[in-house]
Amino acid sequence: MNVIQTQLPGVLIIEPKVFGDERGFFVECYQESRYREAGIELPFVQDNHSRSQHGVLRGLHFQRNRPQGKLVRVTRGAVYDVAVDIDPESPTCGEYVGVELSADNHLQLWIPPGYAHGFCVLSDIADFQYKCTDLYFPAEEGGLIWNDPDVNIAWPVDTPKLSEKDLRHPSLRALLGGE
């Protein structure tokens, strides 16, 4: 597999080897020793699968005291996936990485614990699958507003379909105590 460093500490784009022919393809989605060699050493304790329609934007989510690392991929359709550095001690706080993940490109994104994460669906339907390093705890859930002008994410949609909860997330300044 090819591991691509991003400008955010620890956030990696992973390009697995795909073996294909006229019958279809085979891809190894996860193998512990290879991912450890890439620096992904935390154990995974939960796998999730979501399905969303075109224009749905989920995020930007994180857990406050029980942060989750996430290894994400798309098995149907395509999404624009985003990780945002929300650590006030980090020199890249407020910066983001965005990458298109699709069933065709087989790319994965590793988002270490402590980042906000979200995605927007580009295709008619997308199946989004991810491995987490901690369980989901509703009481620990936090969020960052999707269209924060200080973060300035170049989302591929102007009017995404959002949940009521995702519409109420604070800005990064408010999240960090600046407003």
The verdict on whether 169 is a catalytic residue reads: no
Q: Is 132 helix (H, G, I), strand (E, B) or coil?
A: strand
Question: Using the 8-state DSSP alphabet, how is residue 133 labeled?
Answer: S
Angle ∠(14,73,117) on CA atoms, nearest 5? 95
Round the CA-based radius of gyration of the chain to a whole number and report it: 16
The verdict on whether 49 is a catalytic residue reads: no
Q: Which entry of 61, 106, 117, 169 is annotated as an active-site residue?
A: 61
d(CA 143, CA 166): 7
d(CA 46, CA 57): 22
DSSP states along 64-94: SSS---EEEEEEESEEEEEEEE--TTSTTTT
- Is 35 buried (19+), middle (13-18) or exposed (0-12) by CB count in 10 A? buried
Q: Which entry of 35, 80, 96, 130 is annotated as an active-site residue?
A: 130
Q: Which residues are catalytic?
A: 61, 130
